Structure 1
């Protein structure tokens, strides 16, 4: 389910996962994640065609992400090492903080060792979500998400 398509849940569908993480100046990691998690409903905010200069589309994008972040059974956060050294993904950090502070919100988090704020992600989560592992690779993060979705509480 790619933004801005509207998801209409159907009875008996598998659990859902929202792919939260870097988009701007970052590799298209979401396509690998969507392939690996294809047994589940995947909410992918990375659009194939998105005009960032169109403010009306930005509003649509933000509203879609907000709705689907709340709707997802699990939120997978991935902080890739991006092309631009100064890309720290501030929106993703904001979303992670909000999600970590929400009791009962199911999270799987990964941060590439090359992500410049990895230590901050680990430290913040050790305080807000003690025991939550921050995985170092996308494959490990995806495997943890698959396990979490399979053992849905």
Structure 2
């Protein structure tokens, strides 16, 4: 398994990738736990959380947004996780965008996430039958099923 951390780029021949979509500012590092739960099921994981993001640099902010935009499109599937700490409006936007595509998704929201009801209801309309998981391990397990469905 290769973990590609923003702003690095992956080798396109490395195999199918999953993007870890969810909060990166003001939330715990859920991405590290997700990587552990995903194990080696996915050959490549796109992780937007940088170890040291220069918040004061608008050029790096634009670079980060472009990296996320490109890698969300490049990924074979997307894992969305809505942690409890913040509302994460950009992640909600990304979920809306990708829920209306054919891209495979695994979605989870902490039971105390303030907009969980909206995530569940909107996905019931956009993707009937898509389960919104209540914890990160089950969200990752659902993501691992997506890679096996590619075979």
TM-score w.r.t. the length of structure 2 is 0.93
| Match 1:49 to one of 52, 55, 74 | 52
The unaligned stretches of length 5 or more in structure 1 are: none
CA RMSD of aligned residues (A): 1.1
Shift of the alpha carbon at 1:94? 0.2
Shift in Å at residue 35 of structure 1? 2.3
Distance 1:37 1:3 in 2: 19
Equivalent positions of 1:20-39 (< 5 A) are 20-39=21-40
**3-state SS, counterpart of residue 12 of structure 2:** coil
CA distance in 1, matches of 2:51, 2:39: 18
Q: Residues 5-62 of structure 1, C-alpha deviation per residue, up to 9 Å, x if partnerless?
A: 011211xx44210000011111100011122224220000000010111101001100
- The residue matched to 2:62 in structure 1 has which SS? helix
Partner of 2:88: 89
Say whether 1:106 aligns with 2:104.
yes
Gaps of 5+ in 2: none
Q: Which residue of 2 aligns with 1:16?
A: 17
The question of 1:65 aligning with 2:68 is answered yes
Q: Distance in 2 between matches of 1:78 and 1:68?
A: 17
Partners of 2:26 and 2:56 in 1: CA distance: 15
